[in-house]
Amino acid sequence: MEPAIAELINQALQTIVKKLHSEADKLNRLDAVSGDGDTGTVFSRAADTIALDLANGKLILDCPSSLFRRLGLIAESRMGGTCGASKIDID
């Protein structure tokens, strides 16, 4: 994969992380209508891990299969919840 594409992926993930953080309260309020009101918090927790992994080079941006596997593990381990995946250690 070209470095320019990997950089676009990096920028997209950074934008997603920022958006998840900025919308956390709104997502919590929406979830509180029919759930336990923690969706925004849960998404923020995953966003924190994505940001950390970006900073530490744990997300391999130029290898889609590795990138999506890692993102899936992040979702599985950081976004448990009532109906979510079970928590696992990804470190």
The residue-averaged pLDDT of 65-71 equals 96
Question: 22 in a domain, yes or no?
Answer: yes
The pLDDT score that the predictor gives to residue 84 is 53
Does residue 32 sit within a domain?
yes
pLDDT in tens, 31-49: 999 989 999 999 999 999 9
Domain housing 16: 3-78
- 36 occurs within a structural domain: yes
Residue 13 contacts residue 59 (beta carbons within 8 Å): yes
The domain that holds 17 is classified in CATH as 1.25.40.340
Confidence (pTM): 0.84
Is 51 part of any domain? yes
24 in any annotated domain? yes
**How many separate domains does the chain show?**
1
Tokens of 14: 């950074």
* DSSP label at residue 86: P
Is 21 a domain residue?
A: yes
Structure token digits, residue 63: 């290898």
Mean per-residue pLDDT, 58-81? 92
* Whether pLDDT at 7 is above 80: yes
pLDDT at 86 over 80: no
